[in-house]
Amino acid sequence: MSRNGSGTYSLPAGNPVVTGTTIASTWANTTLSDIATEITNSLPRDGQAGPTGPYNWNAQNLTNVGVFGAISATFTGNISAAAGTFSGTLTAQAALNEAKGADIASAATTDIGAATGSYVNVTGTTTITALGTVQAGTRRIVRFAGALTLTHNATSLILPGAANIVTAANDVAVFVSEGSGNWRCVSYLPATGQAVTASGTSRALGVDCKNNATTPNSKFDLLAAEWTVRSSAGNVVTRWNQATVTVDTGLAGPAANGRDQAGAFSASTWLHFYYIYGSGQTDAGIVSTSAPPTGPVLPTNYTHWAYAGAVRFDAGSLLVKTRIKGDTAYYEAAIGVLNSGSATIETAISLTAAVPPNALTVITKARAQYSDTSANVTMTLAFRYVSGTTYADMNVASPAASVNIWNDSEIHFPNLSQNLYYLWNAATGTRNASMSVLGYVLPNGS
């Protein structure tokens, strides 16, 4: 007889036999045939044949499983495997619940390939240069518990933008093994939500920086619609719509919102202001005597900077009142660089106290003033930014004897070594050339 609904097998009628009973062929044939049938209906251990219908595991587990071959069946329960390999295509028609692995301490080789789950926390601050070896196609989702450096390698640790990444607490990355110890980061999400790229260029857009309203002589406010800050490794982070930061030239450093040096700045020098960033740090500013591309000495845990602009620290160690709008700095009061100029040979005009060395363009207001004892005398005042070559000139005519006449003009010059030149065309009458600097254009990318 066959098994019952619970799978229990019972011998056919005539069993069990009684001691002393003569063995008859009908009993033997019936019993052995029935047993043979049930053995045939059982799964052979050597895998010669499979089940002919759905197999009910009765909520029991498969343990110590080797390699699954091609699977065409539908799993309607849970699949849990501590180890083993599925080959072929596995289609999940419901949630695929992956395990979280044990935390892994950062090391030069942080072996996420040997992780106990697909999602792991990496702790510590040790620089990572490798991620271990596991078969190609293996995926790991990694959360970083703190700040460390992921070191880009074009073969073994391929990172977005081909540049190192300094992590921050709660940054998350997805890595895929390419085999032989090589890994590719296919996704990186900073905890800040800002994108990580590596264009290699810092910039500031929508810049509106000025002397602090309360303490204008020693503090400067930095504000922009967008700061794209760059690290020394080449990767950049863009910060949008951040609050104003106030930088104090009196705060010893290197310090966020202070100087990048311990000692006070010398008087009569140019100070360069920067917006600075570090993962997990409050965005800040810093001031330095170093212009780009050298940039400032950054405080601890700050890694990126963007240039805002340069402001004059005058002879009294006070910040000259300056407004930086976009890429242009404007003085609240123009700075005179030439007065009563009457030379008829080329004469230098020094701009060192009015224009920073890294300025791209100088914005000036020039005046040619002249009078003569004769009427209808015309004089020419020439300005040059290259010695020997006139860039702009101004004509002024005396309409009547002893009448003082002048001509004003705004002229923009390229900044070459903080120098300009002027000369009059003749040594007649009373000549007076003057020039003031209204502002200058800065290389801040705005």
Q: What confidence tens digit (pLDDT) does each residue in 204-238 have?
A: 999 999 999 999 999 999 999 999 998 887 778 88
Please report whether residue 57 resides in a domain: no
Number of domains in the chain: 4
Q: Which of 82-96, 166-180, 260-274 has the lowest mean pLDDT?
A: 82-96
Please report whether residue 284 resides in a domain: yes
Sign of the CA dihedral with 250 first, then 252, 255, and 260 last = positive
Nearest residue to 355 via CA among 407, 418, 408: 418
Indicate if 316 and 380 belong to the same structural domain.
Answer: no
Please report whether residue 433 resides in a domain: yes
216 upstream amide cis, omega within 30 of 0:
no
Phi–psi pair at 411, nearest 5 degrees? -130, 135
Please report whether residue 371 resides in a domain: yes
- Supply the CATH number for residue 159's domain: 2.60.120
Confidence check: pLDDT of 199 > 50: no
- Average predicted confidence (pLDDT) for the chain: 88
Please report whether residue 93 resides in a domain: no
Q: Which of 6-15, 52-61, 66-75, 411-420 has the lowest mean pLDDT?
A: 66-75
Average pLDDT on 168-178 reads 93
Distance CA 233, CA 436 (A): 41
Indicate if 272 and 208 belong to the same structural domain.
Answer: yes
Indicate if 319 and 341 belong to the same structural domain.
Answer: no
Please report whether residue 79 resides in a domain: no
Tokens, residue 116: 């106990």
Q: List pLDDT tens digits, range 309-344.
A: 999 999 999 999 999 999 999 999 999 999 999 999
- The verdict on pTM exceeding 0.75 is no
Indicate if 10 and 46 belong to the same structural domain.
Answer: yes
Indicate if 171 and 253 belong to the same structural domain.
Answer: no
Domain boundary residue among 182, 197, 212? Answer: 197
The range of the structural domain enclosing residue 390 comes to 329-441
